[in-house]
Structures are given as C-alpha cells and as structure tokens.
Chains A and B, each alone.
Chain A
Amino acid sequence: MIESVVKTLLYVAPFVVIATFWVMAVRERRAAGDPTARGFFERNGWVVASYLLIAVGLWAVVMVVLPQLTMVDFSFHPKLPPKDYGGPKDHYTLENYHYFIFGSTTERESLNIIHLRAFGLTILASVGVTIFTFFFCYPIAYYMAQVAPPARLRLIMLMLIVPFWVNEILRAFALRILFGTSGLINNVLVALGLVGEPIDFLGLDIGMYTGLAYAYLLLMMFPLYNAIESLDKNQIEAARDLGAPWWHIHAFVVLPFAKPGVASGCTMVFMLSAGALAAPQILGGPNSLWFTPIVYDRFYQAFNWPQGSAYALILLLTCIAFVMAVLRVFKVSLGEITR
C-alpha cells in the first residue's frame, strides 16, 4: 500500500512541479505583462504551436524525465530476482546508498573506503582535468578569436575538428599505444638519453588524464572561442593604451567578459570527465579507480542494477551540486552559460 503511494508520488512529483511553474508563469504574465500580448497559440498558429509543445514535451518527458525517474525509483529498491518484482520483498529501501558509504547493506562498522576514495578522486581529478583543459585551451581560443587572420583561423579550426572524426575508443587506444612503456614517447625519451628506462605513463595515470583532457578539448575550446570572439578588440587596445601589461588585460578585461564561456566550457568538461567511461577504462593504470567503471561494474559485473542506479545518481547529484556551487562562487547565472 505505502509502496504504491510512494511510487505514485515519485512519478507524479515532476509533473506537479512543471504544472506549478506553468501556472506561476501564467499568473505572472497576467499580473505584470502587457494585457494585449498574444498567447503562445495565437502567436504561432495552432499547428506549429501544438507541434512544438508535443515535440518538446515528448522529448523532455520520454527521453529525459522518465528514464531518469526510473533510475531514481530503481535506486531505492533492493536487488531482487525478477520473480520477486512487485512481491513482498520489493520495498523501498536506502540500502544501496548505505552500501556506498559503509560497504554493506546493513553494517556500519567500516566505511566503503574503495568506493568513497574512487568517488572523491574522480571529482578531484575531474576538477584537475577541467583546470588543465582551461589553461591549455585559453591561449589557443584567444589566438583564434582575437589574433588569427581568417585563413589561419580556418586552418586551426579544421585541425581541431578533424581529429574528432576518429571515434573515442580508437583515440583512447592510440594514446595507449603512444604512452606505453615501449611506445613512441618512451622510445624517443630513451633514445635521446633523457631517461634511463621507460616511464610508466599509464601506471601513473598520465595517459588517462591526457585522454580525458583530449576527449573534451573542443567542449572547452568553442565556448571560450565564442565568448572571446564577441569581445570588442578596442577594449583590449584601450586597456593596453591605458598602460595595462598583458596579464592584466587577460585577468581584468578578457576573462571577466568571457566568464560565461569559461563557465560553460568548464561545466561541460567537468561533467563529462566525471562521467567518462572509455578513457578511464582503456587508459587508466592498474591502481586508478575512476568512479564510472565502478558504476558500470555494478550493472554488468555485479548485476546489481539498483545499486548501479544509486551510484549513478550519487555521481550525478554531486556533480550538479558542485557545478552550481562553483557557478555561485563565480557569480555566473545558469542563463548566462546558455547564451
């Protein structure tokens, strides 16, 4: 009885939220807006308007909201054989979350060190990857946006985009070969006598970080480029004319202006790094434990979908919370980064 109530609430809640916002928006428009303003259907005609509503509605509900809700629902169930679904053992429980923290569904004696550590490291390393990608991309984006003549800009764009025609797995394996102990980089280093014996780039996770940074390079590059490109060149010259050294111009004129682009790029790189699967799996060293392979293993090695869902949800919510917190610290609104 209580089960079905909770389940209903879980699935109905998002629609109640949507409906509430819609009602609030309508009321606000009635109260403050132009009374002669025409409604959505009047403006677009009923054919276009209903297409937009149905298409967007279906997409949002069927492709986004429902699958995620299923995951949420799943994560609060125990692992059961299919015959017990809906049976007396199928009840709401926090045991999957409990397991994430304590390594057991019931005991509280020790913490689930391995998973917690992997989780923490994933977040930290994703921050690291994001920062590295930003510092790597900023000079190039600035050059493309403000300095490069059009012909060279096209060339650079092409050189940036073409490598991404190669699929992600293939790129990761190529990096693996490149970074291997008998790979090209080590061979060159040894041949030049710079190192005595090969460096274990993969074991040190250098391969993985490179792979991650490389995989999401463009997602940093293009928001940065767009943001910097819209900066009036005269502002840079004005700052220079007023005596500013180059670093001051970047720190106080270019970066504040490009802040939405920086936020947008960093958010995407961070989110995708934290949720990356291919690069950590292929390039990760034996000691590395990225969180996503653990989630993957919950599903496909442990066949524990409820636990996998719980893990995925924890990662998702933590990332969202982290990003929102960072946006708040840097005073960027969500609206700005979608510009």
Chain B
Amino acid sequence: MSADVELNHVSVKFGAFVAVRDASLTIRNGEFFSFLGPSGCGKTTILRTISGFLEPSTGAVRIGGKDMRGIGPNKRPTALIFQNLALFPLMTVAENIAYGLRIRGMGADERRRRVDQFLDLIALPGLGEKRIDELSGGQKQRVAIARALAVEPQVLLLDEPLSALDLKLRQHMRSELRAIQRRVGLTFIYITHDQGEALTMSDRIAVMNAGVIEQVGDSAAIYDDPATVFVASFVGENNPFRGTVVAAEGEHAALDTPAGRLVGRNPRGAKAGDEAILFVRPDALAFDGHGAENSIEAAVQSVAFEGSVSHVYLKGPTKRDIVMTVGRGDGAGVPGQGQATRIGFARAAGLVLPAGRLASD
C-alpha cells in the first residue's frame, strides 16, 4: 500500500520565524521524491510536518487524500528514518525491527516470521540476535530501514540517513536504497543537502531555499533548466555573470556584463533593461574561444587534477573565479599558469535568469 502526499499551501512558523512558506506540491504514489537544499532551508521542517511531529501553521498536509491535521505521528501512515537512525541500543536487531509490530499487538511467532522476512529483504539474514553496537554503519542503516518498513507505512520519510556514512558506503547505499524502494514500491520522501544523492536517486526533486520551494522537477530539469538563480547556483557548479539585458529576441537574450556582451537562452523571458544573471556550466566552456558565440578574456590561475577530469580556475574580468572542467584528453590544450587566453561557449550553453541571490552569497 502506498499513497500520495499532498502539501496544500503549507506554512510553518516558529514564533515570528517562518521556516516553511506556502509550500504546495503533490508527491505521487510510489515516487522517490527528494527535498534538496542547504541546511536551514526548511526541508527538515517539511519532513517533520509530514510525519506529524509538527503541525502546519496554515495549510494542510494530506496523505492518501486524508487531511492529517490533529493526527499524531504514531497514528499516521508514515515511518521516519532519522539522520542518526535512532535505533534502540538496548534491543537486539530483531527487537528493533519488531518494535512497531509489538505495539500493534502481533503475536511472537508471527513477529519472528516477519522479522526474518525483513532481515532477508535487507540482506542481513541470521543477524537478528546481534546487538546494535555490533553492526557496521551500513548494517545499522539497513536495520533502520527494516524497522521503518516493518510497520507497513504508506510513505517512508528519510532524513539525510546517509550523511553519517563514509563516501564509498554512501555511494553504495544510494543504489541500495533505490533498489529497496523499487522492490517495496512505497512513496519515499528523502531529505538531503547532498545534490549528488538527490540527483542520482530521485524521480523528482524539490529544491528549497529559505523556506521556499524554488523548483520541482526531475534531475535533468533541475540541472539543465533551473528555474531560479538559487537553483542554478546550488545544483552543480555554475559560472554566474551579472549584467543588464540589452536585447531579448526570440529564445535568446544578450547581456552586458563586466566580461563583455554575452548571449544565452532566455526561458524566463527577461526583457531589455532587466537585471539578470547569465550562467554557464564549467563543462560548456572551452579554450580558444576566438570563434565562439561568446568569448571571455581570462588567465589560468590553477589546475586541480581530479582523475577523469581536471578543474581549471581562471581569473576573468569578474570578481569571482571562472571554473572550467577539462576532460582527460583535452588536458594538452590548457595554457600555462598566468597566461592570458580566451575562453568561449555556445549561446545554447548560456542561461539567462532574472537576477537574484546566488546560493553562495
């Protein structure tokens, strides 16, 4: 059993502070949905509102079409996986998984059978009698998932559960989580500040900033077609060029920036005279930009080798360094340090968005 989760103009206030402002969206039945944003953006507040630990100040949360107001977390069809997992340290693995079943009055034999099923699901068969502190980080993770799934929730909520793991394990657990989600077919709502996690696992992502949902879309849309300056600067690396729109024709707009006149796509319909920011991804930039549609004068400052790619940091006419990603094969074309060069990019790779605050501001 799985269910839709609907937020209808949800605002959550703590005194004068607005943690979530007018959030409206529908998370579809069986979807892997992520809330992505920096710490303090309100994503955890949204999660706690869905799970019932908080009530919205205004608006409504509906799960499976039913208004959840006044229904406590112990009565909602949701199960939450905590950031620190919050496994019960004095209980064995099996007792942890069976905790919710025991509350529901399930008999001991039936409980044991179900626990065994879940131990199989999380690929830890036979570990039921282990104590929690005898498990590795990844094993604890899976026990937490099993404990939450055991109560047969319609929606599983995950609050940055991978953040405590080391990098390798984190990457492994991403695919594991995704696989478990496909197997059980539940609605997963995932909270993270790690865009890599959000982009790889999610069917759809909501990017949040300062209590506001900035954009909802699938990974490709979020990355390729960011709706706001915040999303463009938060998700993936991006080079911003602030300027004033001098011409907007058809799908494109031209900006006057400190780096010269730059042209890019104009999906938000910026008009001449508007303040705007043109973004270009590091991988869209190329050296030897003399013939390119856009070109910028810059000097190489440093090169950071990262294996399959290298990041090249350039000092251009703007305050901020320009970042370029160069593939292994193209390494030969990188000019020496301090050498002035011209970098360029195609019009289609530039994205003009109405001016706003960057994620790093």
Contact = CB atoms under 8 A, between A and B. Distances in A.
Interface stretch (B77-85, B269-277, B328-336): B77-85
Interface string A227-264: 00000101101111111110010001100110000000
Contacts of B103: 242-245, 248
Nearest to B82: A234
B90 A257 contact: yes
A241 B88 contact: no
Contacts of B304: none
Contacts of A242: 74, 79, 99-100, 103, 147-148, 151
Contact of A244 (B51, B74, B78, B90): B74
B27 to A, nearest CB: 18
A237 B86 CA distance: 9
Q: Name the prevailing secondary structure of the B interface residues.
A: loop
Contact of B51 (A232, A234, A241): A241
B357 interface: no
Interface string A197-238: 000000000000000000000000000000000001011011
Nearest to B150: A242
A35 B73 CA distance: 55
Contacts of B84: 232, 234
B104 A241 contact: no
B82 A240 contact: no
Contacts of A234: 82-84, 86
A140 to B, nearest CB: 24
A105 B227 CA distance: 98
Measured as residues with beta carbon below 8 angstroms from the partner, the interface class of chain A is 10 to 19
Given A232-B84, A248-B103, A240 B90 contact: no
Contacts of A252: 99
Contacts of A235: 86, 88
Contacts of A248: 103
B80 A241 contact: yes
B72 interface: yes
Given A242-B99, A243-B100, A244-B74, A237 B82 contact: yes
A333 B80 CA distance: 34
A243 B86 contact: no
Contacts of A256: 90
Contacts of A245: 74, 103
B77 to A, nearest CB: 10
A257 B75 CA distance: 25
Contacts of B151: 242-243
B74 A237 contact: no
Nearest to B81: A238
Interface string B315-338: 000000000000000000000000
Interface in B28-53: 51-53
Nearest to A237: B53
A232 B73 CA distance: 18
Given A235-B88, A253-B88, A243 B82 contact: no
26 contacts: A232-B84, A232-B86, A234-B82, A234-B83, A235-B86, A235-B88, A237-B86, A238-B80, A238-B86, A238-B87, A238-B88, A239-B99, A241-B51, A241-B53, A241-B73, A241-B74, A241-B78, A242-B74, A242-B103, A243-B74, A243-B75, A243-B100, A243-B104, A243-B151, A248-B103, A257-B89
Interface of A: 232, 234-235, 237-245, 248, 252-253, 256-257
Given A235-B88, A248-B103, 10 more contacts: A232-B84, A237-B82, A238-B80, A240-B73, A242-B74, A242-B100, A244-B100, A245-B103, A252-B99, A253-B88
Give 7 nearest A-B pairs by CB, closest first. A234-B86, A242-B100, A238-B86, A234-B82, A241-B80, A243-B74, A243-B103
